Structure 1
Amino acid sequence: MTILDKILAEKEKEVAQLKATYQQGQHQVGFERRSLYDSFMHADKMGIIAEIKRASPSKGTINEAVNPAEQAKHYEENGAGVISVLTDTPFFKGTMADLKAVRKAVKLPILNKDFIIDEIQIDRAKDYGASVILLIAAALPKERLQQLFNYTRSYDLDVLFEIHNEKELAVAKEIGANIIGINNRNLKTFEVDLATTERLAKDIDTTRTLVISESGFSTKEEVERIKQSGVRGILVGETMMRSDDLKKTFDELRVPLS
């Protein structure tokens, strides 16, 4: 059983509990929706999705004491285009309260970074202030991904559709994803390889589809390398959470795209 299998089994329990207890709209936070797609496609520098992540299965505890609202403000001040908030509790030590706190602190688009398997999670994410929903190709059959994609878009929310290989890229194209996240981390071994993005991006029309490269960024050289593949955004978690000089980190990673 892979770590993804374990996480999804836990999500099944979480969704069952949500369906028994969650009332849509009970936590609604008002906000002005901003498009991740539009802002990154028209930017002149590499877009950064800066992540708030207390822990992960591969790295253990990263920064458990983080104040999500304060961290998000620092991200916004230093040039983040989107804030990603990990809300899974058992494996990443995040909460939906983190997402709500971030929504109240910043005006940027917010990605609810979680393992979405049911519409009720999308309802909850929207109520708490998310403007981008993560769908992971490896998590569900294509038909179910299509349903959740359509449901998210019906709310006028963006979908970051995450892939790891050619088969999943074909699914992304078939369901109509216009924001594709290429995860450089192998979900089975947890090894990170930027060549994953380079290989898969060759088969994506990057003039129409926004490509986000996920995981493995800590230096300007790595971003310059990935830029050559038509990538217009990167997702950065651990590097941001461990940075003791966020201005310097952002300045280094926000390379010009032209």
Structure 2
Amino acid sequence: MSTVLDEIIAGVREDLAARERLVPAAEVARAAAARPAALDAWAALGGGAPAGDLRVIAEVKRRSPSKGALADIADPAALAAQYERGGASVISVLTEQRRFGGSIEDLDAVRAAVSIPVLRKDFTVEEYQITEARAHGADLVLLIVAALDDARLAGLLALTHELGMNALVETHTEEEVDRAAAAGARIVGVNVRNLKTLEIHRDVFGALAGRMPEGAVIVGESGVRGPDDVAHFARHGAGAVLVGEALVTDGDPRARIEEFKSAGAAAIAERLSAH
């Protein structure tokens, strides 16, 4: 029985094939090589720094399979600029079109508008997508462990690093965390949304955080509605959270990011004092 992830990836592969026919891989590689060096998303998310601040990856997101239409984002660049002013450390841009309403053009617009690292949020299954992300200015790509076998995960992660980028390696289970660690992931996300039912199970985060590779940046993904959710992730080891819906549906995303950062920092201080 196919999962939502399987169905999304089938569409991604069809759309990818169409883009490859229009823009051959060699042309994309030349464009990627001509780009200035990628920004250091690892450092921006607190990699190598003492724990203290909670980083926010703020997402430009129009739709989702679980909620349908979320926001009519006519100007993704303006929204991203608000995110940056609110203190976001990274801007995530959904570029999958069929289920999320995103595009490469959104990535281009956001890259031109902000000075912080940008994550190309898509369902990465081929090397072309990573080179394409760099060609369009992305500093970070998403690799979903559930969508990749070990060899493909390791290969895509290696290419990401060769291009000077970082990868957010997304996990959902203990086995996936172990696979991410074995591949050498340095930024590991725990998505608390069940891929089969699309339900949120927030307690999954705490169960997996303790298995993370030493020194990894740990990112809480999905289910962030308010400061309590951010605090929950931070209390259980997150150094960052990825937030989309709560920001695109808020009238003042800049203030909301500031609120999330404050709640996260307080929870991290609480966690550290307990040890």
Post-superposition offset of 1:27: 5.9
CA distance in 2, matches of 1:11, 1:79: 32
Partner of 1:11: 12
Give 3-state SS (helix, strand or coil) of 1:24's partner: helix
Count of aligned positions: 257
Q: Does 1:37 align with 2:42?
A: yes
State the shift of 1:17 in Å: 2.2
**Post-superposition offset of 1:170:** 1.2
Superposed counterparts of 1:1-258, under 5 Å: 1-22=2-23, 23-24=27-28, 30-31=35-36, 33-41=38-46, 42=49, 44-205=52-213, 208-254=215-261, 255-256=264-265, 257-258=268-269
Equivalent position SS for 1:50: strand
1:33 CA drift (Å): 2.8
- Between the aligned partners of 2:80 and 2:188, the Cα distance in structure 1 is 23
Report the 3-state secondary structure (helix = DSSP H, G, I; strand = E; otherwise coil) of the residue aligned with 1:134: strand
Superposed displacement of residue 32, structure 1 = 5.4
Instruction: State the alpha-carbon separation in 1 of the partners of residues 139 and 73 from structure 2.
Output: 25
Distance in 2, matches of 1:15 and 1:98, equals: 17
Match for 1:12: what amino acid? R
Bigger shift: 232-241 or 6-15? 6-15
Which of the pair is proportionally richer in helix? Answer: 2
Provide the C-alpha distance between the structure 2 equivalents of 1:136 and 1:57, rounded to a whole number of angstroms.
16
Does the 8 Å CA contact 1:48/1:80 hold for their aligned counterparts?
yes
Residues 26/176 of structure 1: CA separation in 2 closer, same or farther (3 Å cut): closer
Verify the 8 A CA contact 2:224 2:243 in the aligned structure 1.
Answer: yes
Looking at structure 2, the residues matched to 186 and 154 of structure 1 have their Cα atoms a distance apart, in angstroms, of 32
Structure-2 change in CA distance of 1:176 and 1:205 (3 Å): closer
Coordinate RMSD, CA, aligned? 1.7
User: Structure 1: 5+ residue runs without aligned partners?
Assistant: none
Instruction: Tell me, yes or no, if the aligned pair for 1:116 and 1:134 is still in contact at 8 Å.
Output: yes
Q: What do residues 134-181 of structure 1 show as CA deviations (whole Å, max 9, x unaligned)? A: 000111211111111111111110010000001111110110101101
Deviation track 1:47-71 (CA, whole Å, cap 9, x = no partner) reads 0000000111111011133311000
- The secondary structure found in structure 1 opposite 2:18 is helix
Point out 4+ residue stretches in structure 1 off by more than 3 angstroms. Answer: 25-32
1:32/1:107 contact within 8 Å kept: no
Distance in structure 1 (CA, Å) of the matches to 2:116 and 2:36 = 10
Task: Using structure 1 for the length normalisation, give the TM-score.
Answer: 0.94
Write out per-residue CA displacement over residues 74-98 of structure 1, whole angstroms, 9 at most, x where no aligned residue.
0001111000000001111100000
- Taking every aligned residue pair, what percent have the same amino acid on both sides? 35
Distance 1:214-1:55 versus aligned 2 partners, 3 A rule: same
